[in-house]
Amino acid sequence: MDNKYEERLGTASMLPLILKMALPGFAAQLINLLYSIVDRVFIGHIELIGTDALAGIGVTSSIIILISAFSQIVGGGGAPLASIALGKGDRERAHRILGNGFSLLVLFTVVTSGITYIFMEPLLRLIGASDATIGYATDYLSVYLTGTLFVMFATGLNSFINAQGRPGISMIAVIIGAILNIGLDPLFIYVFGMGVTGAALATVISQAVSAFVIVGFLVSDKATLKIKPKYLKPDIKIIGSLFALGIAPFIMASTESLVGFVLNGSLSAYGDIYVSTLTVMQSAMQFAAVPLSGFAQGFVPIVSYNYGKGNTDRVRLCFKYSVIIMFSFFALTNLFMITFPEFVAGMFTDDTALIKTVGRMMPLFLTGMTIFGLQRTCQNMFVALGQAKISLFIALLRKVILLIPLALILPNFLGVKGVYLAESVADATSAICCTVIFTLTFRKILKKREQT
């Protein structure tokens, strides 16, 4: 078996390796971001109904994020474990992790989509859908849910391609789906006059294509880590390890949904325009956060593989380059959006009132994100090193311990501004705390590995 792609993780020059591994994921996630962004851009510009339709799509995002978060138990937890196993030479365990991950994704699809269909309208009302926006929300979500399995496969299995040192394949899978989505959106929304239903249908078709490419590779002879029927049978120990490490990435993703419930619910009391404002600003925030998730998918396998090998000097070097790149990107992109908020808002809507509201609230909302690259790097390093407990605490810190209480408390003193300011305060505080924890524990983790 030709394992040259895996072996280069432990031998190639570090900075070129990071760029070769991470840039395809970075580009893929940047393009993948267009799945949701393009939907919102086209929907926000629908004549007469754009602002209400945008708010309707905004409230569905909390449910969509929660559903897709389950795939992170497999992708965010399983892929690093598979990389560590490959680094140790335990290929059997790596295959079992992938096979059990595949089975879990099917189970997650059945459970999450079924529950959402049954309780769709009450959930949307709870998040903040009003009489004016509930119709758009249900139209979009009811179609989107038909593609849940494709979303699970596309987001949950892609990391296993990176674990084999094949980020180019991963990038191609995402790009094909994203380009298709960009083409289908205007066709379904405007030409066929399907509105928000057309946007959801375009996304489902696009995710299906990406999923077929990913699964197709993982069952082919080109893959060194493959989906095989004999490894699909549930293994309690393997599933337990997936949950142990994957719960942190799951919480990182799912708490975004929980925050959506709280923030949209709070903002709905001030009017639908503030819900639309949050939708625009969260979309803008994703321009920094989502591409760097792709970048992390590139450096995490390098760290995990070398940690498994015991090459701790390469782990340190990978962290050094990664933190510089991720911090700089977060800082520059968020400073741009803080400086030109109305320009950013104009990408999503022609509504003058909405643009001006975003202009006032964007600096409050994003200032804390300027240093958030520190947390993203340190948090992904903990996952890459298999540090489940620390990863879990940090995942809970930002959203559950800090943001949700702040979002409920600050509006009592600052009104609607307090809802947006809560995000910024939580982001900055958690980034500082995460960096301090990482500084205190990183050397101990590597020293323990060196002694084994």
Which residue range is the domain that position 443 belongs to?
10-451
Q: Is residue 179 part of a domain?
A: yes
pLDDT exceeds 60 at position 2: no
pLDDT band at 232 (very low <50, low <70, confident <90, very high): very high
Q: Is residue 156 part of a domain?
A: yes
Give percent above pLDDT 70 in the chain.
Answer: 93
CA distances from 141 to 125, 196, 312 (A): 13, 9, 46
Q: Is residue 45 part of a domain?
A: yes
CA distances from 224 to 217, 227, 407, 450 (A): 10, 10, 47, 28
> What was the pLDDT predicted at 39?
67
Under 8 Å between Cβ of 58 and 279: yes
Q: How large is the average pLDDT for residues 222-251?
A: 89
Under 8 Å between Cβ of 101 and 157: yes
Domains in the chain: how many in total? 1
Residue linked to tokens 């989906």: 227
Q: Is residue 318 part of a domain?
A: yes
Closest CA to 127 of 65, 72, 182, 71: 65
Q: What is the DSSP string of 378-408?
A: HHHHHHHTT-HHHHHHHHHIIIIIIIHHHHH
CA 390 to chain centre: 19
Structure tokens at 226: 């493959």
One-letter amino acid identity for 401? I
Closest CA to 390 of 257, 189, 247, 267: 247
pLDDT exceeds 60 at position 1: no
Quick: pLDDT tens for 91-122: 999 999 999 999 999 999 999 999 999 999 99
Closest CA to 276 of 87, 56, 114: 56
Q: Is residue 215 part of a domain?
A: yes
Structure tokens at 189: 């929304």
Contacts of 257 (CB under 8 A, 6+ apart): 62, 63, 65, 66, 69
Under 8 Å between Cβ of 245 and 388: yes
CA distance linking residue 21 with residue 9, whole number of Å = 9
pLDDT exceeds 60 at position 207: yes
CA 170 to chain centre: 15
Quick: pLDDT tens for 267-298: 878 887 888 888 888 878 877 777 777 788 77
CA 54 to chain centre: 21
Under 8 Å between Cβ of 275 and 56: no
**DSSP 8-state class, residue 11:** T
Predicted TM-score of the model (pTM): 0.71
Contacts of 159 (CB under 8 A, 6+ apart): 75, 76, 78, 79, 170, 297, 300
**Side-chain half-sphere CA neighbours of 218 within 13 A:** 28
> What was the pLDDT predicted at 33?
65
CA distance linking residue 413 with residue 400, whole number of Å = 21
CA distance linking residue 408 with residue 346, whole number of Å = 29
> What was the pLDDT predicted at 377?
92
> What was the pLDDT predicted at 258?
72
Quick: pLDDT tens for 427-451: 999 999 999 999 999 999 998 888 7
**Which of 134-143, 212-221, 262-271 is predicted least confidently?**
262-271
Q: Is residue 1 part of a domain?
A: no
pLDDT exceeds 90 at position 259: no
Query: What is the residue-averaged pLDDT of the chain?
Result: 86
Structure tokens at 3: 């394992």
Quick: pLDDT tens for 342-377: 998 888 778 889 999 999 999 999 999 899 889 989
Helices (H), 310-415: 312-339, 341-346, 352-366, 373-384, 388-396, 404-409, 411-414
Q: How large is the average pLDDT for residues 84-95?
A: 89
Under 8 Å between Cβ of 304 and 385: yes
Quick: pLDDT tens for 10-40: 778 888 888 888 776 677 667 666 666 766 6
CA distance linking residue 138 with residue 149, whole number of Å = 19
Radius of gyration of the chain (CA): 21
Phi, psi of 45 (to 5 degrees): -100, 10
**Side-chain half-sphere CA neighbours of 318 within 13 A:** 35
Under 8 Å between Cβ of 170 and 226: no
Quick: pLDDT tens for 133-183: 888 889 889 999 999 999 899 888 988 988 887 878 887 888 888 888 888
Q: Is residue 2 part of a domain?
A: no
Under 8 Å between Cβ of 381 and 319: yes
CA distance linking residue 329 with residue 113, whole number of Å = 35
Q: Is residue 5 part of a domain?
A: no
